[in-house]
Structure 1
Amino acid sequence: MKKKYVILLHLLFWMYYIMQDLAVFDPEQNTFSFPILSFDFKTPGNALTYSFTTIYIFIFYLNYLVFMPKFFDVKNVKRIILSFLGLFVIFIGMRYLIEEVLYDTWLGFHNYSNDATIAYYIYDNLYYGSRPIMASSVLWFIVNMLRLQKEQIVLLESKRETEINFLKSQINPHFIFNTLNNIYYLIFEKSEKALPAVEQLSGLMRYMTYESQNETIALQREVAYIDDFIALESMRISGDAQVVFKKNIENPECRIPPLLLIPFVENGFKHGILNNPGQVFTIELTQNKNHLILQTQNSISNYKKDHQSGIGIENIKKRLQLYFPDRHSLDITTKENMYYVKLDIKL
């Protein structure tokens, strides 16, 4: 909680205290007056008001600044009770010393009558002492709870950012590993496509190194990345790669987390049959208003599966949960030898 708001809460409380305890209302004139501002210590009423207010403020901040931070512990009720008893002792002792001893010696009057017993004095001041103690405790609770809530939000945000960065670090090496394998294959075959592939790899790494570090990017940048990825991956396919990327995008500048969609495309390349005209790997991306929908379908090639199968998809599920909790749906189904994905995100 910001310091200025804490100060404002204190000011509001003391304004209430002044109007409740120090102001005198005249119903005939419909006005308030403040006798305490006369600074007349010889008048018993004013002198007692000055001493009580001073003790009230002292006990209030003694509890707020020292006792509550140091002794309050929900797991130790005995400690709390003893701290409150200590405050009552200080309050009663100060009030008795000032109003019954010093005032009687210096000003010739005191507060309680001569026949008032010590037991009655203590009993009566339990009520008056409870006022600053309870008021300061409640205010401390409010400020402390708001501060803890803010710290919890910061902690959760920090944890979320750490988890997202960790997931990104898992994605990047996987992409690079696959792409380097593709380029190695092209160089081994002495293909003319090798140099363009190196240039495309440079673009991919630039995207992953710089733009992927942003919290969000424009959708068109992710789409361009997917286009380059498809082109690069298609180079290693024997024959014509049967890949179709359909785009129906209303707002290319809408923001999404980087590297959010590529795992589904990568998964199709890694595990699908890509040179069969009868089984086209189809990728369809639709963005309309505040919805983003990605649908893919590809045939399944069992012999291409390995122990790393599914790492990218599991990774993206975690990222979706972090970025879009309760604002996304992901349906992955397998029917016969076809693999279907539908991702629906509410931006």
Structure 2
Amino acid sequence: MKNRGSFLIHFIFWLIVIIICGLAIASNERRLSPHEIMVHFGYYGLINISIFYINYTLLIPQLVQDRKRYGMYVFSMLLLIVFMCILKTMIAVLNSDIILAYLSKNGERKYTEIPEYIVRSVFTSGFFIVISALIKLAIDWFGNERVQRKLESEKKDMELQFLKSQLNPHFLFNSLNNIYSLAYQKSDKTADAILKLSEIMRYMIYESNDSWVSLSKEIEYVKSFIELQKLRFKDGAAVELTLNGEIDDQQIVPLILISFVENAFKHGVANDPKDPIKINIIANQKILHFSITNKKNNQNKDEMGGVGLNNVERRLQLLYPERYKLNIVNSATHYTSELMLDI
């Protein structure tokens, strides 16, 4: 991609130069012979092209970019200009009737003075050196920007994969603990719990591998998780799930809501019908509002949040920069998480 863009810039530049030369030939009052065209534009064209690419491919990469030898670069650049001006002057002297001769206003044939011609040659050579340096710097800058964006994207993807790899084992570990408790109690709910866990894991392993999933699928996953958690309690868990708005095919990052729900079950009181876990989801085509409130479990001394919420907040920073608001309220009796997403 970089080579293609570089080639295009070079092609456009030399096309402009050729067009300008062509217009110069066409505007000449008398028709130039092939030999005159060769002297004017062939020889000098090769010299100017050489100036351009010696600076572009040798001087800048070797002295500026690799070794930062700016003094040596300036000296080499001046040496290149002097050498090419000598070469141009020799060609002009050998072809003085073509290069140096011109008609004055009164029609008298005159010749350009050598010092004047040298000054013009220095200006022309300097022009091609400056242009080659600008093109080189521009191409390298855009190339470095592209590489930097690619590295940042790869770093972001690696971090997201790491966060996701933390999330799945974390959830699985907690769920297996719950199923172990049911099995230890020889509960009839054990088989249902295993079946529900298999459905959840199918979503986590297959569908959540996509970068985005539909909001409806994510909410179904949350519902399945709640049903799995209810099996832990003899009389079921006390959960109020309220859905409002348009919950359809809006896209959301998978597994972004589950940590809040898991945190409520892990650290809160989930079996008090008078003070249930309250989950409220409101959505339209642009905004998702998610909130969850749970009563604190005073017997559970673990810090609220933990790996799960730290994980999800980092994922929000990476995937929804400037597009989310997360508000955590940790009161004496309740814990509330409120998330606003631009979807």
TM-score by length of 1: 0.86
In structure 2, how many angstroms separate the alpha carbons of the residues matched to 1:144 and 1:166? 32
CA distance in 1, matches of 2:337, 2:59: 60
Stretch of structure 1 that moved more, 48-57 or 289-298: 48-57
CA distance in 2, matches of 1:196, 1:83: 81
- Aligned residue in 1 for 2:216: 220
Instruction: Label 1:193 to 1:58 Cα distance change in 2 as closer, same or farther (>3 A).
Output: same
User: Of 71, 82, 86, which aligns to 2:75?
Assistant: 82
Judged with a 3 Å threshold, the aligned counterparts in structure 2 of structure 1 residues 116 and 37 are, in CA distance, closer, same or farther, namely closer
**Structure 1 residues 15 and 70, CA, compared in 2 at 3 Å: closer, same or farther?**
same
SS of the residue aligned with 2:274?
A: coil
CA contact (8 A) 1:329 1:345 kept: yes
C-alpha separation in 2, matches of 1:55 and 1:7: 20
- Supply the distance in 2 between the matched residues of 1:57 and 1:10 (Cα, whole angstroms): 11
Alignment-derived partner of residue 132 in structure 2: 136
Structure 2 partner of 1:95: 88
| 1:226/1:213 CA distance change after superposition, 3 Å | same
Gaps of 5+ in 2: 102-110
Q: Aligned pair 1:268/2:260, yes or no?
A: no
Question: Which deviations, in whole Å up to 9, do the C-alpha atoms of 1:89-110 show, x marking residues without a partner?
Answer: 442243245444xx36xx9877
User: Using the alignment, how far apart are the partners of 2:275 and 2:75 within structure 1?
Assistant: 79
Q: Shift of residue 210 of structure 1?
A: 1.9
What does residue range 263-302 of structure 1 map to in structure 2 within 5 Å? 263-302=259-298
Instruction: Please tell me whether residue 66 in structure 1 is matched to residue 52 in structure 2.
Output: no
Residues 48 and 272 (structure 1 numbering): CA distance in 2 closer, same or farther, change over 3 Å? same
The CA deviation string for residues 8-40 of structure 1, in whole angstroms up to 9 with x for no partner, is 322332233234444238xxxxxx557999662
Q: Which deviates more from structure 2 when the two are superposed, residues 179-188 or residues 79-88?
A: 79-88
The amino acid that maps onto 2:196 is Q
Residues 203-212 or 164-173, more deviating: 203-212
Partner of 1:11: 11
What is the rounded CA distance, in whole Å, between the counterparts of 2:72 and 2:24 in structure 1? 40
Distance 1:191 1:9, change over 3 A: same
Residues 166-315 of structure 1 correspond to what in structure 2 (within 5 A)?
A: 166-306=162-302, 309-315=305-311
SS in 2 for 1:72: helix
Supply the distance in 2 between the matched residues of 1:213 and 1:324 (Cα, whole angstroms).
Answer: 18
- Structure 1 CA distance, aligned partners of 2:45 and 2:29? 13
Q: Output one character per residue of 1:183-220: Cα deviation in whole Å (capped at 9) or x when no partner.
A: 10111111111111111111222222222221111112
- 1:276 alignment partner, SS class: coil
Q: What displacement does 1:318 show? A: 0.5
CA contact (8 A) 2:179 2:194 kept: yes
Unmatched 5+ stretches in structure 1 = 26-31
Percent of matched pairs sharing the same residue: 32
Whole-angstrom CA distance in 2 between matches of 1:52 and 1:21: 11
Q: Is the Cα–Cα contact under 8 Å of residues 36 and 46 in structure 1 kept in the other structure?
A: no
Cα 1:305–1:80 change in 2 (3 A) is farther
1:54 matched to 2:69? The reply is no
Give the corresponding residue for 2:24.
24
Of the three residues 315, 319, 322, the one matched with 1:319 is 315
Q: Contact 1:291–1:345 at 8 Å: present in 2 too? A: yes
State whether residues 21 and 41 of structure 2, in contact with CA within 8 Å, keep that contact through their aligned partners in structure 1. no
Q: Per-residue CA shift, 1:225-261, capped at 9, x if unaligned? A: 1111111111112433111111225142111111100
Give the AA of the match of 1:47: V
- For residues 36 and 58 of structure 1, do their structure 2 counterparts lie closer, same or farther at Cα, with a shift above 3 Å needed? farther
Provide closer, same or farther for how the CA distance between residues 82 and 303 of structure 1 changes in structure 2, counting only shifts above 3 A.
farther
Q: Structure 2: how far apart are the matches of 1:339 and 1:190? A: 33
Q: Which 10-residue stretch deviates more, 211-220 or 63-72?
A: 63-72
User: CA RMSD of the aligned region, Å?
Assistant: 2.9
Query: Structure 2 vs 1, CA of residues 16 and 309 (structure 1 numbering), >3 Å: closer, same or farther?
Result: closer
Higher mean Cα deviation, 240-249 or 336-345? 240-249
Q: CA deviation at 1:4?
A: 4.1
Output one character per residue of 1:62-100: Cα deviation in whole Å (capped at 9) or x when no partner.
222333233223954224323422432442243245444
TM score, norm. by length of structure 2: 0.87
Cα displacement string for residues 98-132 of structure 1 (whole angstroms, at most 9, x for unaligned residues): 444xx36xx98775979746xx7765532121011
Q: Hey, what's the Cα distance between the residues in 2 that align with 1:302 and 1:174?
A: 23
CA distance in 2 between counterparts of 1:47 and 1:36 reads 16
Q: How many residues align?
A: 333
CA distance in 2, matches of 1:91, 1:275: 89
**1:29 alignment counterpart:** none
